[in-house]
Amino acid sequence: MPNRLEHLLEFYRDDPHDAFTQYGIALEYNALKNYPAALEWFERLRAAQPDYVPTYYMLAGVYRAVNEPRKAEEIYRAGQIAAKKMGDHHAFAELSAALEELLEDED
């Protein structure tokens, strides 16, 4: 029986423009700690659909996992802009808290 990632990749082949499928693929790679693939999928999604706000929080987290705090900071800030644009106050608060934590960790 195919695993979840295989199913998601099949869904992607059927509809390569579906943000939720791309997001799911990136999440699966992240869960497998395949950070290069997770970064590729999250960045691809961010480029294609910059208003898909959930991408930013998870993408910044992957950059943190690969010890790229400057890139994580950049992504959190971009996510704040996207969340504000979309009127997503909850995501804005989450991104702000994560950014604050990142900056405190660097002090």
Domain CATH code at residue 26:
1.25.40.10
Q: Express as a percent the part of the chain with pLDDT over 90.
A: 95
If you average pLDDT over every residue of the chain, what do you get?
96
- Model pLDDT, residue 2: 57
The mean pLDDT value for 1-23 works out to 92
Where residue 1 falls among pLDDT bands split at 50, 70, 90?
A: very low
The mean pLDDT value for 78-103 works out to 98
> What Rg value do the Cα atoms of the chain yield, rounded?
14
CB 38, CB 30: distance < 8 Å = yes
Taking each continuous run of H as one helix and of E as one strand, the counts in the chain are 6, 0
Closest CA to 54 of 10, 98, 7, 9: 98
pLDDT in tens, 58-75: 999 999 999 999 999 999
Number of domains in the chain: 1
pTM (predicted TM-score)? 0.93
Number of other residues whose CB lies within 10 A of the CB of residue 10: 11
Domain coverage including residue 31: 4-106
